[in-house]
Structure 1
Amino acid sequence: MRPNHSDMRMYADLMDLNRGFLGLLTAPRSQQAVPNFGLEAAIIDQLSRLSLAELEFIAATPGLLACFSQWPTVSMHWVAEVGTTRTSNQAAWRETARLYVTGLLTYLWQMEKRDWPCCALCAGSAELNSGSMEKFDFTRIHVSADIAVDQLQARFNNYPSFWTDLICSARSGNEDFRALSQLTIIPLALAEECSAE
């Protein structure tokens, strides 16, 4: 069966979002103003040592690699961070992360309206239930993104072998191993959705 145009667009968007998240993960540690998104430091270090082509392979995983530890809500309000001092590099990194989160929330908001089953499988946020983003709009997404940066995390960080296998397969030249490692996201996503019910 040939994928239709909307499927191809969806996968292109997923890859773009994964690419952006990998960019946040592999930014120099000195620039980061947040923890390692739930991943062990050793995994972050290995990701940082991958070539651009190897990172592109990981970005092509057929599901989002990012999620939120707590689902952003429309009731969130921006609160000035008291006593937080950041270098200019950290402030620039945080702004990049905020823009990424804005794009991620917009993608999920649009996907939920267009194709809920696909959104649940590919985006996979356990907190995301049909209709959970009905009250969102562009303004609320923008406001929520400021706080949601601190809730951004690597998806399946509780399965470190998922990330380790992706890294190993990215470095290998074995196409079968590469394909299998990317596809392991599907049973993990299904298990994630079942546990949320």
Structure 2
Amino acid sequence: MRTGSARPPEQGRRSDTEARHPRRPRTERSPYPEPRVHLPVRVAGLVLLAADLALVLWLVLRSTPTEWMLDANFTPFATVRAELAGGTLAGYQEVARGLLTLAPVGILLPMAGGRPYASTLGSFLRTSGAGLLLATAVEVVQTAVGGKVLNVDDVILGVLGLMLAHVAVVPAGRAAVRRRLESRAVPAPAVAPEVPPAPRTASAATPTTSA
């Protein structure tokens, strides 16, 4: 009969698992802070976004007298092809106006979020979705209140301008903000390990002389 303490089965399985998959040592946390929200950028983005939307709303509701109006357009890029085919400066200006109407929103909307470490793809998709909703709302208000006809090309050009502005400015701007935050961060000073005092040794007894 074998003597000795038997190892519990759970402990044996745990030891075998740790032997096959050893745990990695924990790494030290980065000394650079990664704030979820950059407050100054968020405040500036909110203020500028509100001003830009107010300007867009004023332009939409402003009545412009015209002698005649085109019919409603539900065919994508039909108006764009007609404007470019004419080859006139007014046609090119009309296409540029459609691209620039909501272009600032593609920059100011991520600024209003104020997240320098946000995902590039996620930010692009969120901004594009919000821009599509905003462009549709602007076109509906312009048709219902501004006295203009519905044109699907205005929505398409507005979203395209917003997306192009976002791709051209936002990733580089976030990278600049991250570099600035990391340059301002000061790493925590390293604490030297305490060295235990050396043990005292008994000194040799000095012989005494008798008188």
Question: Which structure's CA Rg is the greater one?
Answer: 2
Q: Fold-level match, TM-score > 0.5?
A: no
TM-score, normalised with respect to structure 1: 0.28
TM-score of the superposed pair, with normalisation by structure 2: 0.27
